[in-house]
C-alpha cells in the first residue's frame, strides 16, 4: 500500500442491505404467502477514494520537493483510489493507485503536464483475530523509471493500534540515486470522537537498516547517508462526515491535519530543514 508519508489511506466496510418480506391473501380461496424478497448479501468489495492537497510530499522522512523551506511549501495534489476484495472472513486482496500532481520542477514530466508520479500497488492481508498481516507490492513510476517496493505490515487493533511496516526497496530504474534496502517504521495511533468529528493522533518512527537509502552514492557529487534512526513524526488528523450526500453515493467526508517531522541529516541528507510541519486537506469517500 502506498505509504509515502505514513499516514494516510483507510478503508471502510460496506453496510449490508436487506430486503423486506411480505405476505398477501388471494382474492378467492386459501390465503397463500407471497414469496420472500431476496436478502441482499454484504458486498465483498469495499474501497476508498480521496482527493487531497498536501503542503509537502514526504517519502519515509525525505522532503521530496523541498517544501520544508516554508510551512506552506510547494503544495501537491494527490488523488488516490483503493479497492479491497474480501475473499474469506479473514483474507482480503487489495489494489490501489496514488498520483502526485504539481508544478514544482522545470523538468518535463514523463506522463505529461503536471503529473509527476503514478504509483500502483497490489497485495493481500490476513487477520488473526485482532492481528493483521499484509504483504503489498508497489510500483512507484516517476523520473522515466520505476521504483519497486515490497512492504510487509503488521497491525494490532487495540487502544493505541500499534503497527510495524517493513519497507523494502528491491529495484530502481528512476532518477532517484538511493540504494536498495530496508526501512522499519513503527507506529501507534489513538483515535477519538468529539461530536460528529473523528480525530486521530498518529506517531511514527523510521529506522533505516541500510546505508545510502536516501543518499546519492554515485555521480559527480556523491553524498552518502548512514543507517540508523531516520525520522519521527506526530500528527493530528480530523474528519467530518458529509451527511447531506446520499448514502447511495458512498460515505463522504472532509478531512485534514497537521504533522510535525524531526529528521536526522546523516540518514536523510537532502531535506532543506531537519524539522518541519506539514498540512493536508481533502475530501474522501468510502464505499
Identity of the highest mean pLDDT range in 64-68, 101-105, 136-140: 136-140
Q: Kindly write down the DSSP assignment for every residue of 69-127, as one continuous string.
A: GSSS-S-EEEEEEEEEEESSSSEEEEEEEEEEE----SSPPSSSTTEEEEEEEEEEEEE
**68 three-state secondary structure:** helix
C-beta atoms surrounding 233 within 10 Å: 22
**190 with 158: CB under 8 angstroms?**
no
Q: Kindly write down the DSSP assignment for every residue of 139-161, as one continuous string.
A: EEEETTEEEEEEEEEEEE-SSS-
Fold of 49-286: Porin (2.40.160)
Report the candidate in 226, 227, 157, 229 with the shortest Cα–Cα distance to residue 186: 229
Rounded Cα–Cα distance for residues 183 and 206 (Å): 7
Rounded Cα–Cα distance for residues 121 and 98 (Å): 9
For the stretch 120-143, pLDDT in tens is 999 999 999 999 999 999 999 998
Residue 245's pLDDT band, with cuts at 50, 70 and 90, is confident
For the stretch 202-217, pLDDT in tens is 999 999 999 999 999 8
Q: Where are the domains of the chain?
A: 49-286
- Residue-averaged pLDDT of the chain: 85
First-residue to last-residue Cα distance in the chain: 18
For the stretch 30-42, pLDDT in tens is 334 444 444 435 5
Amino acid at each position: 500500500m502506498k505509504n509515502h508519508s505514513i499516514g494516510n489511506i483507510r478503508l471502510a466496510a460496506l453496510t449490508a442491505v436487506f430486503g423486506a418480506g411480505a405476505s398477501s391473501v388471494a382474492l378467492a380461496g386459501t390465503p397463500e404467502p407471497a414469496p420472500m424478497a431476496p436478502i441482499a448479501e454484504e458486498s465483498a468489495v469495499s474501497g476508498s477514494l480521496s482527493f487531497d492537497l498536501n503542503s509537502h510530499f514526504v517519502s519515509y522522512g525525505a522532503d521530496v520537493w523541498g517544501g520544508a523551506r516554508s510551512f506552506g511549501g510547494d503544495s501537491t495534489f494527490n488523488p488516490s483510489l483503493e479497492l479491497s476484495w474480501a475473499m474469506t472472513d479473514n483474507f482480503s486482496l487489495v489494489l490501489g493507485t496514488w498520483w502526485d500532481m504539481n508544478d514544482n520542477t522545470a523538468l518535463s514530466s514523463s506522463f505529461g503536464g503536471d503529473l509527476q508520479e503514478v504509483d500502483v500497488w497490489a497485495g493481500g492481508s490476513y487477520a488473526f483475530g485482532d492481528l493483521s498481516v499484509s504483504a503489498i507490492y508497489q510500483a512507484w513510476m516517476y523520473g522515466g523509471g520505476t521504483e519497486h517496493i515490497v512492504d510487509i505490515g503488521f497491525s494490532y487493533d487495540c487502544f493505541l493500534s500499534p503497527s510495524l511496516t517493513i519497507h523494502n526497496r528491491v529495484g530502481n530504474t528512476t532518477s532517484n540515486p538511493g540504494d536498495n534496502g530496508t526501512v522499519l517504521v513503527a507506529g501507534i495511533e489513538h483515535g477519538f470522537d468529539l461530536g460528529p468529528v473523528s480525530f486521530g493522533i498518529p506517531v511514527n518512527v523510521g529506522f533505516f537498516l541500510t546505508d545510502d537509502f536516501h543518499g546519492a552514492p554515485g555521480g559527480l557529487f556523491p553524498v552518502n547517508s548512514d543507517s540508523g534512526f531516520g525520522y519521527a513524526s506526530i500528527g493530528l488528523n480530523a474528519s467530518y462526515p458529509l451527511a447531506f450526500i446520499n448514502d447511495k453515493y458512498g460515505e463522504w467526508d472532509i478531512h485534514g491535519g497537521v504533522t510535525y517531522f524531526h529528521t536526522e541529516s546523516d540518514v536523510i541528507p537532502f531535506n532543506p530543514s531537519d524539522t518541519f510541519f506539514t498540512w493536508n486537506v481533502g475530501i474522501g469517500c468510502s464505499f
